[in-house]
């Protein structure tokens, strides 16, 4: 049997090059990260120190109509959700259930993808899970602190 070119060699041909995607990856997503308790705020503050495209970081308490942007001023929930592609909700304790519902309901109304991180290492159930579950299309339980950074990278935030 004669030896032909390897698959790697064939992939470098002009014929195969016609199948390559020759445009850049899409722009960064307008991701909003929302913390619902003090420990979650500490986690997102740490992530906010990294270099992100268009990600913005907030904390919120009940009832959830106004969010505090990390390193900036207060912003209404309506404004935060304008031109947003993704909302990542972070909770460790299950506090501020009304705020979770406000953010999650508005995201659902607008067709915004939601993800929830229940950062309760070693615990599979918690009040945080109870509050986030109805509002997060993707839910990481139990999440680690580094999962937020990996999720932000995966969504090109």
103 phi, psi to nearest 5 deg: -65, -45
Instruction: Kindly report the three-state secondary structure assignment for every residue of the chain.
Output: CCCCCCHHHHHCCHHHHCCCCCCCCCCCCCEEEEECCHHHHHHHHHHHCCCCCCCEEEECCCCCCEEEECCCCEEEHHHHHCCCCEEEEEECCCCCHHHHHHHHHHHHHHCCEEEEEECCCCCCCCHHHHHHHHHCCEEECCCCHHHHHHHHHHCCC
* Residue of 2 and 16 predicted with greater confidence: 16
The answer, yes or no, to whether residue 127 has pLDDT greater than 80, is yes
| Cα–Cα–Cα angle for 55, 58, 61, rounded to 5 degrees | 155
The answer, yes or no, to whether residue 118 has pLDDT greater than 80, is yes
Give mean pLDDT, residues 108-131.
Answer: 89
Q: How far apart are CA 118 and CA 8, in angstroms?
A: 43
Per residue in 74-100, pLDDT tens?
999 999 999 999 999 999 998 999 999
pLDDT of res. 121: 76
pLDDT of res. 2: 63
Give mean pLDDT, residues 141-146.
Answer: 89
Q: How far apart are CA 54 and CA 156, in angstroms?
A: 9
pLDDT of res. 70: 95
Give mean pLDDT, residues 9-33.
Answer: 81
pLDDT of res. 29: 83
pLDDT of res. 92: 94
Per residue in 23-79, pLDDT tens?
766 677 899 999 999 999 999 999 999 999 999 999 999 999 999 999 999 999 999
């Amino acid at each position: 049997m004669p030896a032909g070119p390897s698959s790697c060699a064939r992939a470098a041909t002009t014929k195969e090059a016609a199948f390559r995607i020759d445009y850049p990856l899409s722009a960064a997503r307008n991701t909003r990260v929302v913390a619902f308790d003090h420990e979650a705020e500490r986690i997102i503050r740490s992530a906010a120190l990294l270099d992100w495209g268009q990600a913005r970081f907030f904390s919120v308490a009940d009832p959830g109509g106004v969010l505090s942007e990390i390193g900036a001023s207060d912003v209404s929930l309506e404004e935060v959700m304008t031109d947003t592609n993704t909302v990542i909700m972070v909770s460790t304790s299950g506090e501020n259930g009304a705020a979770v519902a406000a953010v999650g309901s508005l995201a659902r109304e607008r067709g915004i993808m939601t993800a929830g991180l229940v950062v309760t290492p070693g615990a599979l159930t918690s009040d945080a899970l109870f509050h986030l579950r109805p509002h997060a299309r993707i839910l990481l339980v139990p999440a680690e602190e580094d999962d937020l950074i990996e999720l932000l990278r995966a969504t090109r935030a």
